[in-house]
Amino acid sequence: MIKQLVNLFKLRIGFIMMLTALVAMAATPGRSVTLTEMIVLALTVLVAAASAGAFNQYYETDLDALMARTRNRPFVTGVLTKGPFWLMVINGLLFVSVAIAAVVLNGMAALYIFLGAFFYAVVYTVWLKRRTWMNIVIGGASGSFAVLAGAAAVDPVLTPVPIQLALVLFFWTPSHFWSLAIAQNKDYAAAGVPMLPAIAGNEYAAKVVLGNTLILVGISIMPYFYGMGWLYLLGAVSGGGYFLYRNLKMIQDAGRKNAMASFFASLIQLSLLLIGTVLDVLILS
């Protein structure tokens, strides 16, 4: 049952959002935050992301049943039964997380936490996913709001570095997800979901991924010119360089193997960027 709940709430995605929020909090200049504020930020971002992930699965049961990657999700298999109870749980988790963030952190941090969940659950899942290949581009702003929430917890008035890190997450999401979508092209085509590879082909999508990643890497270097140090730059350049390398390999052969390698490279790129940020703040600040 624990495994099913981890699946339902998409806790792996939530954990990434939580880490980006905490790193943004650390990278934002200003007052010192308390341990309580750090814990509250981490948990409220994680819980809000979990509620959005659960709603995504609740709403998309029909699509999930058509794809090999998702047909074992609990609402599809019947392990969990759709109904008012689960909608109450999902909405309740979001309400509680946003309310606690507003009380302990501030109103702007709470607003960004809410918008992160709203963009994933409503903008991406309900409005865009079945209608346009731009779904993951616009809906991907969900991750950016986690960064802004972390920064706003320190200072509601946003400064250049957290804004740039939010843009990094915005451009990271399409390259990350389209790499997976290339690997899962047949699934999305069978389900009728207009993901870019399903409507334009893997080869074209791979070229778009490379172009998007070039923008991503360019933006990821910018914080170095706004106060971040060489440790941050090292993480941004090394992770970005490896991601670009895997993108180029995917252009040469847009098969499943290279697409999954590109997908995992996106995780390495983000991890090195976050690690570089934390080390830069701890050692060079």
**Whole-angstrom distance, CA of residue 173 vs CA of residue 202:** 17
Nearest to 146, CA basis, from 124, 165, 125, 129: 165
DSSP state of 253: -
Question: Between the ranges 62-66, 80-84, 126-130, 208-212, where is the mean pLDDT highest?
Answer: 208-212
pLDDT at 8: 85
For the chain, give the percent of residues with pLDDT over 90. Answer: 82
Continuous H helices in 192-255: 196-200, 202-221, 230-252
Please list, in sequence order, all residues whose beta carbon lies within 8 angstroms of the beta carbon of residue 184, skipping any fewer than 6 positions away: 67, 69
**Whole-angstrom distance, CA of residue 179 vs CA of residue 82:** 31
Continuous H helices in the chain: 2-8, 11-27, 35-59, 61-64, 74-77, 84-104, 107-118, 135-139, 141-154, 160-183, 185-191, 196-200, 202-221, 230-252, 256-279
Nearest to 67, CA basis, from 212, 250, 193: 193
pLDDT at 92: 97
Return mean pLDDT, the chain: 94
pLDDT at 7: 79
Nearest to 137, CA basis, from 194, 189, 82, 187: 194
pLDDT at 19: 96
pLDDT top residue among 66 and 252: 252
What domains, with CATH codes, occur in the chain? Answer: 1-114 (no CATH), 159-285 (1.20.120)
pLDDT at 10: 85
Least reliable range by pLDDT among 25-34, 87-96, 269-278: 25-34
CA quadruple 85, 86, 92, 97: dihedral, nearest 10: 160
Residue 2 in this model has a pLDDT that exceeds 80: no
Summarize pLDDT for 189-218 with one digit per residue, the tens: 888 899 999 999 999 999 999 999 999 999
pLDDT at 1: 62
Task: Give the mean model confidence (pLDDT) for residues 99-112.
Answer: 98
In this structure, are residues 47 and 60 in contact, taking their beta carbons and an 8 Å threshold? no
Nearest to 194, CA basis, from 129, 126, 119: 129
Ramachandran assignment for 83, one of left (phi > 0), alpha (psi -120 to 50 degrees), beta (any other): left
Task: Give the mean model confidence (pLDDT) for residues 231-247.
Answer: 98
Residue 284 in this model has a pLDDT that exceeds 90: no
pLDDT at 285: 72
- pTM for this one? 0.94
Task: Give the mean model confidence (pLDDT) for residues 20-37.
Answer: 94
Summarize pLDDT for 153-194 with one digit per residue, the tens: 999 999 999 999 999 999 999 999 999 999 999 888 888 899
Nearest to 26, CA basis, from 168, 114, 147: 147
